[in-house]
Structure 1
């Protein structure tokens, strides 16, 4: 069995078991990838909590925006990061500080931070880097 197949299986499993997603770096601008991905995830039945300090209290796709992970009123399964790679350690620190930690830290396309990923993994959190759930979901869950 190839590593690619193992990774596909792992990502398929993550996307199948996750139900709540904190989308860090959510944008109200329709042209931004985070806006489109949030809409996609909502359309697939995920509960998505947008996180953006500058938009806190407003709404994106009808969902209240939170200033940080610690303000989300319920446990989250996955943190999807739409921030520059150098912002990832702070997001991981915030996730590690939660009473109920997420099971997955997902870094979007072109976002990689090996040290932060290692810290999350050492704390028992699965990590996906440089991938987009809106690309992986149709590829791995529904091929159409």
Structure 2
């Protein structure tokens, strides 16, 4: 079976229903794409949770940095991944384990095994799309307060 991303309308609904985004691979360097995308999403009203064991700072973008998804002590809606495709299956397993709703692999990242793991665990999967671009197109005025 060939993977297919949800429709634009479905992605819009998913974004509207989501508030907390754990960003796996979020860099503490402002010139990195992961930082810029996360900063823009934070400015749009999403709570960004940094997940990166390689970074040694306690916080990124004013939020506590966690080593793993499992270390996050509260619910996460979206697991947004900035890791190479081959590293995504374990992230998908962890996203399922924490009860996330969506596994989102950033632009240029796709892995059928990760998608299968996440889908089998009940998560919606989006691959090879930039969350910032989708949010800007689908929710240009920001999230509605419902």
Structure 1: give runs of 5+ residues left out of the alignment: 1-5
Query: When the two structures are superposed, what TM-score results if normalisation uses the length of structure 1?
Result: 0.90
- Aligned residues of 1:24 and 1:79 also touching (Cα < 8 A): yes
- What is the CA–CA distance in structure 2 between the aligned matches of 1:25 and 1:18, rounded to whole Å? 20
- Equivalent position of 2:140 in the other structure: 142
Q: Does 1:72 align with 2:61?
A: no
- Aligned residues of 2:28 and 2:57 also touching (Cα < 8 A): no
Aligned pairs for 1:76-115 within 5 A? 76-98=76-98, 101-115=99-113
Deviating beyond 6 angstroms after TM superposition, the runs of 4 or more aligned structure 1 residues are none
- What is the CA–CA distance in structure 1 between the aligned matches of 2:102 and 2:96, rounded to whole Å? 11
Aligned pairs for 1:51-70 within 5 A? 51-55=51-55, 58-70=58-70
- What is the CA–CA distance in structure 2 between the aligned matches of 1:77 and 1:140, rounded to whole Å? 18
For the residue of structure 1 that corresponds to 2:13, the secondary structure is: helix
Q: Would you tell me which structure has more helix in proportion to its own residues?
A: 1
For the residue of structure 2 that corresponds to 1:127, the secondary structure is: strand
Count of equivalent residues: 138
Structure 2: give runs of 5+ residues left out of the alignment: 1-5
- What is the CA–CA distance in structure 2 between the aligned matches of 1:61 and 1:136, rounded to whole Å? 21
- What is the CA–CA distance in structure 1 between the aligned matches of 2:64 and 2:55, rounded to whole Å? 9
